[in-house]
Amino acid sequence: MKRSQFLKLLAASSASLFIPRLYGEEVDPFSPPKAVEYETNRAFTTAGPGFGRRLCITFDDGPNPSTTHMVLEELKKREVKATFFLVGKNVDAFPDSVKKIRDEGHELANHSYSHPALKNMPEEKVRTEIFRCQESIEKASGVKAVWFRPPYGSFSQKQQPISTDYHLSVALWSLDPLDWKKPGSSIVTQRVLSQSNPGSIILLHDIHKQTAEAVPAILDGLLERDYTFATMSEFLGDPLISL
């Protein structure tokens, strides 16, 4: 199928897709997400198509050898592929973990170099954060990332040309279980399983032990509900390919 045809189908499947908690907005984590009309936007992606009950599970802020490797082991057992949004300074500190993520077939993506809120930063500093992370990932793995997730979702539409200059599309999310608040692995699991829908992009953080401990139950619960998994690029296609 041509990418243009795929995106037409994607737009047609919009009714069941969702918008994420953006930076500065308050959301009740126990309430289900509201269904909204979804428009294909390769610059700021918030959800994907639900064809075949597909969803995308993503992990931010790593790598952290102890917890990231726990997550990788559970993904491997179930033959599930994920997208890891890596922080550049952690990539520099743990390049072997980055190689392990790559070698096990997961997608590597850019999550800035030092994890600041970018929205109100000077353009030069924003560019440095993105570029240094991009450089670190490529040095460690030989992979050029094509997706960028701003820390905290703190990135404005006016800043979009910056990410575009580095050939990156911005990937946000539609489901945030707030695992970074460390509410306990069972609560993280419950939030993910109760709020997942076809097309969801799930935000998790592989640097937290509670999250790593929740991953087996999350994956098993989603598989029992007949969900299938895709990386960001499998979900939406390579954003660098022209329509």
Q: Domain segments of the chain: what residues?
A: 42-236
Q: How many CA atoms lie within 13 A of 152 on its CB side?
A: 14
Q: For residues 17 and 187, give the distance between their C-alpha atoms in angstroms, rounded to a whole number.
A: 23
Q: How far apart are the first and last CA of the chain?
A: 12
Chain-centroid distance, C-alpha 47: 10
**Confidence class for position 43, pLDDT limits 50, 70, 90:** low
Q: Which residues contact 216 (CB under 8 A, 6 or more apart)?
A: 74
Q: 172 or 16: whose pLDDT is higher?
A: 172
Instruction: Say how many C-beta atoms besides its own lie within 10 A of residue 7's C-beta.
Output: 16
pTM exceeding the 0.75 threshold for the entire prediction: yes
Active site residue 205: yes
**What's the gap between Cα 96 and its chain centre?**
21
Q: How confident is the model at residue 238 (pLDDT cuts 50, 70, 90)?
A: confident
| Backbone φ/ψ region at 174: left (φ over 0), alpha (ψ -120 to 50), beta | alpha
Q: Confidence class of residue 22 from pLDDT cuts 50, 70 and 90? A: very low
CB distance 129 to 152 below 8 Å:
no
DSSP for the chain, written as a single string: --HHHHHHHHHHTGGG-B----TT----TTSPPPB------SSEE-----GGGEEEEEEES---HHHHHHHHHHHHHHT---EEEE-HHHHHH-HHHHHHHHHTTPEEEE--SS----TTS-HHHHHHHHHHHHHHHHHHHS----EE--GGG---GGGHHHHHHTT-EEE--SB---GGG---HHHHHHHHHHH--TT-EEEEETT-HHHHHHHHHHHHHHHHTT-EE--HHHHH--TTS--
Catalytic residue, chosen from 60, 176, 179, 206, is 60
% the chain with pLDDT above 90: 74
Given 106, 115, 205, 208, which residue is catalytic? 205
| Type of residue at 221 | G
- Would you say domain 42-236 falls under CATH 3.20.20.370? yes
Catalytic-residue membership of 206: no
Mean predicted confidence (pLDDT) in 48-70: 94
pLDDT(15) > 90: no
pLDDT, average across residues 54-79: 98
> pLDDT value at position 159?
94
Torsion angle of C-alpha atoms 186, 30, 118, 132, degrees rounded to 10? 30
> Per-residue pLDDT for 23 more than 60?
no
